[in-house]
């Protein structure tokens, strides 16, 4: 085979949380997610780099594993990639085994196993900064000799040792016989072989590594407090609570600013484009459709950024694995595996990475349960809908002088999502899949001070995803909604609002009977339909449906919408809409990922059915209880 044609392929293999992805990012300049807990990476990612001598290398980031005896789907990806069993992919030309230098014991066993595969390999002793700070003494030469491997020390987050590593890899791929196939000598080891490898690893540890002079006592001390069964849970609740208060109170001034900006933009465009004939149509499309629609969603950016600032800081600090540990008992009662915590937490951003993160769960039933309930967690696309309704119906006042009432209601909605997820899991595991949940083992990472630059960068990535959704999904849908609610024009001498005669009006009126029992009017029904593509579109769609035909330039679009909703919906209807949004599977993309991850249409439809069922039921009950309690009056 001609070496020049195909770049040499290198795979990053190592224990979870050892810094493989950080190294991958440092090597390739990619921006894959890095965080301080095990199981961040669940699929293979490839990137191309160019070495100093100008050759290109293809680098593969893989999920972390302790052994090639894979147990969970993410570990299988790693095993198959290393052994060249992935479809359409040969085995890598070289392996970079990534080790957390402060935690060598476990990785040595993996190194011994990887050596049997017979690929050229280099050991990257990552987190070398921490090792040095602790005064850990590793006899590199001896270790190199014992293992028979070149060793490079690296600090992935500071891009240290990267050139060295690339040079070593290049060296390996040049000298090794290329294009060789076959599985090398790896086979699943039996119990005695595992014990032998264990003994060998222990002996290497004794020979080459002296315990640290300044061991990390801080992690132990902090854990003494944070993992305390009572105090720990109190602190966790307090953190979550502050988080939601902050989302509401800190974001408010920023949101006002963005809203005002879009208001000005709308006014400016109205001033430039005349309001007559075809120009009038264009003006209406741009101002009422596009600017008001996209603006009414982008306004929520500050809330999303604040929420993620909290989550990213906690992740990088190393707290999330602790939260999983603290909640393991509660989750166990609900029939959930402890490892479900991270997938469920990821679902607070979006159910899609959440469903994918479930790959770290070994037992199929535990994993399926987690996937089925992940979309019940409150994702960030629900924030605009929740905030709109809360802003319309819940007065802006404080409780006990310091708590924002709106923030409290928002917190309540998140809790409602969590409680329903746990309840559904409980029912699944008690009714359909009886049996014990597999025991939970997760290494607790050491605490690390979050790196400001990487936190800011991650925050920017989150913000960008949200803004890209606005451009890619919401903008085109807004054009469509504007079209449907503008045409056809009302007939001569018509008395109702123009939208009554439009396509959107027809669709809304046709579907309304289904939703009348849960208190929805036809305008809401129109908003639900494009809301299937992305939840937050419903907010923009409501804006269009209600605002088409009359624009009052003195208030911003969101304010106008709040006022309209307050005037046209009863409190019962507003609450019913919130209840609907807790449960309804209003997101086609999530359903697609569920189909892919479960490899079954059946499970996807089960999810659609149970979530719509719950949504309808919850809204029905909410609506009728609220009406019975006197919340049925419109215009209150
Ligand atoms: N101080 C220090 N921290 C590092 C270094 N490399 C990585 N980290 C941190 O270690 C944590 C884990 O890094 P990741 O790159 O996500 O680890 P991973 O091996 O890809 O983890 P999985 O995908 O879960 O298997 C993150 O908090 C990183 O910021 C390093 O060299 N020094
Ligand atoms: Mg990773």
> Which one of the ligands is nearest to 449 CA?
1
* Substitution site in 97, 154, 157, 450 for ligand 1 pocket (most atoms within 8 Å of beta carbon): 157
**Cα 15 to ligand 2 centre (Å):** 10
- The fraction of the chain above a pLDDT of 70, given in percent, is 95
* Ligand 1 pocket residue status of 35, Cβ below 6 Å: yes
Q: Taking residues 181-195, report their average pLDDT.
A: 77
Q: Which atom of ligand 1 lies at the shortest distance from residue 130's CA?
A: 1
Mean pLDDT to the nearest integer, 149-162: 95
Query: What is the pLDDT averaged over residues 84-104?
Result: 91
155 lines ligand 1 (CB under 6 A): yes
* Ligand 1 in reach of 270 Cβ (< 6 A): no
Q: Which ligand is nearest to the CA of 45?
A: 2
In sequence order, which residues have a C-beta less than 8 Å from that of residue 468 and are 6 or more positions away?
none
Closest CA to 546 of 392, 390, 378: 392
Over the chain, what is the mean pLDDT? 88
pLDDT at 548: 46
Taking residues 2-28, what's their average pLDDT?
87
Q: Is the CB of 38 under 6 A from ligand 1?
A: yes
Please give the pLDDT value at position 3: 47
Closest CA to 71 of 16, 9, 23: 16
Question: Are 403 and 245 spatial neighbours (Cβ–Cβ below 8 Å)?
Answer: yes
Q: Which of 11, 12, 14, 19 to mutate to test the pocket of ligand 1 (most atoms within 8 A of CB)?
A: 19
448 CB within 6 A, ligand 1: yes
Take atom 11 of ligand 1 and give the residue whose Cα is closest: 36
Nearest to 581 by CA among 624, 528, 526: 528
Of 22, 28, 32, the one to substitute when testing ligand 1's pocket (max ligand atoms within 8 A of C-beta) is 22
Return the pLDDT at 400.
84
Answer yes or no: is the C-beta of 350 below 6 A from any ligand 1 atom. no
Q: For 522-564, give the secondary structure using H, E and C.
A: HHHHHHHCHHHCCCCHHHHHHHHHHHCCCCCCCCCHHHHHHHH
Mean pLDDT of 196-202: 92
- In this predicted model, what pLDDT tens digit does every residue of 572-605 receive, in sequence order? 999 999 999 999 998 888 999 999 999 999 999 9
ipTM for this prediction: 0.99
List the residue whose alpha carbon is closest to atom 3 of ligand 1.
Answer: 127
Whole-prediction pTM: 0.83
Ramachandran category for residue 176: left, alpha or beta (phi over 0 → left; psi -120 to 50 → alpha): beta
H-run or E-run covering 57: strand 56-61
Note the pLDDT of residue 555.
Answer: 65
Q: How far is the CA of 522 from the centre of ligand 2 (A)?
A: 47
DSSP bridge pairs for 170: none
What confidence tier does 2 reach under pLDDT thresholds 50, 70, 90? Answer: very low
Q: DSSP class of residue 429?
A: I
User: What pLDDT, in 10s, does the model give residues 292-340?
Assistant: 788 878 888 998 899 889 989 999 999 988 998 888 888 888 989 888 9
Question: Which numbered ligand comes closest to the C-alpha of 442?
Answer: 1
User: Which residue, judged by its Cα, is nearest atom 27 of ligand 1?
Assistant: 36
Measured in angstroms, how far is the CA atom of residue 403 from the centroid of ligand 2? 39
Residue 186 predicted with pLDDT over 90: no
Selection from 101, 104, 95, 110 nearest residue 153 by Cα: 101
Ligand that comes closest to the CA of residue 64: 1
Backbone angles phi and psi of 14, in degrees to 5: 175, 175
């Amino acid at each position: 085979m001609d070496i020049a044609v195909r770049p040499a392929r290198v795979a990053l293999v190592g224990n979870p949380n050892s810094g493989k992805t950080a190294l991958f990012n440092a090597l390739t300049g990619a921006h894959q997610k890095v965080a301080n807990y095990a199981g961040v990476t669940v699929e293979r990612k490839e990137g191309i780099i160019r070495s100093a001598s100008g050759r290109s290398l293809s680098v593969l980031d893989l999920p972390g594993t302790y052994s090639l005896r894979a147990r969970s789907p993410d570990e299988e990806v790693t095993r198959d990639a290393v052994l060249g069993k992935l479809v359409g992919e040969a085995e890598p030309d070289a392996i970079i085994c990534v080790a957390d230098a402060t935690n060598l014991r476990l990785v040595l066993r993996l190194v011994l196993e990887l050596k049997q595969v017979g690929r050229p390999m280099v050991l990257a002793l990552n987190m070398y900064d921490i090792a040095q700070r602790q005064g850990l003494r590793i006899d590199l030469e001896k270790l190199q000799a014992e293992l028979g491997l070149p060793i490079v020390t690296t600090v992935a987050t500071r891009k240290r040792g990267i050139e060295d590593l690339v040079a070593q890899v290049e060296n390996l791929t040049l000298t090794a016989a290329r294009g060789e196939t076959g599985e090398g000598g790896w086979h699943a080891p039996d119990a005695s072989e595992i014990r032998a490898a264990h003994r060998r690893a222990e002996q290497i540890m004794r020979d080459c590594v002296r315990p640290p002079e300044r061991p990390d006592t801080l992690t132990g001390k902090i854990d003494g407090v944070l993992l305390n069964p009572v105090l720990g849970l109190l602190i966790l609740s307090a953190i979550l609570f502050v988080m939601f208060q902050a989302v509401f109170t800190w974001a408010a001034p920023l949101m006002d600013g963005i809203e005002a900006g879009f208001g000005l933009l709308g006014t400016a465009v109205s001033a430039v484009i005349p309001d007559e004939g075809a120009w009038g149509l264009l003006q209406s499309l741009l101002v009422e459709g596009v600017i008001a629609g996209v603006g009414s969603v982008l306004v929520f950016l500050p809330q999303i950024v604040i929420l993620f600032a909290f989550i990213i800081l906690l992740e990088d600090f190393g707290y999330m694995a602790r939260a999983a540990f603290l909640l393991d008992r509660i989750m166990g009662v609900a029939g959930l595996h402890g490892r479900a915590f991270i997938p469920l937490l990821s679902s607070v951003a979006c159910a899609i990475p959440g469903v994918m993160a479930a790959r770290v769960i070994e037992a199929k039933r535990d994993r399926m349960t987690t996937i089925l309930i992940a979309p019940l967690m409150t994702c960030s696309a629900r924030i605009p809908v929740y905030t709109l309704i809360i802003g319309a119906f819940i007065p802006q006042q404080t409780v006990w002088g310091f708590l924002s009432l709106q923030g409290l209601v928002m917190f309540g909605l998140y809790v409602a999502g969590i409680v329903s997820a746990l309840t559904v899991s409980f029912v699944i595991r008690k009714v359909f899949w009886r049996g014990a949940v597999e025991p939970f083992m997760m290494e607790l990472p050491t605490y690390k001070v979050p790196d400001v630059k990487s936190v800011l960068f991650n925050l920017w990535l989150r913000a960008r995803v949200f803004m890209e959704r606005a451009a890619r999904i919401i903008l085109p849908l807004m054009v469509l909604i504007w079209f449907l609610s503008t045409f056809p024009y009302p007939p001569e001498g018509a008395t109702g609002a123009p939208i009554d005669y439009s396509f959107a009006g027809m669709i809304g009126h046709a579907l309304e009977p289904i939703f009348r029992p849960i208190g929805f009017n036809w305008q809401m029904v129109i908003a639900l339909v494009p809301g299937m593509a992305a939840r937050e579109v419903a907010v923009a769609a409501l804006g269009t449906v209600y605002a088409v035909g009359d624009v009052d330039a003195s208030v911003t679009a969101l304010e106008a919408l709040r006022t309209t909703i307050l005037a046209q919906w009863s409190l019962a209807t507003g609450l019913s809409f919130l209840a609907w949004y807790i449960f309804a599977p209003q997101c086609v993309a999530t359903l697609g990922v569920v189909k892919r991850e479960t490899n079954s249409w059946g499970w996807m439809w089960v999810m659609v059915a149970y979530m719509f069922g719950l949504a309808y039921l919850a809204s029905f009950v909410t609506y009728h209880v609220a009406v019975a309690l006197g919340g049925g009056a419109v215009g209150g």
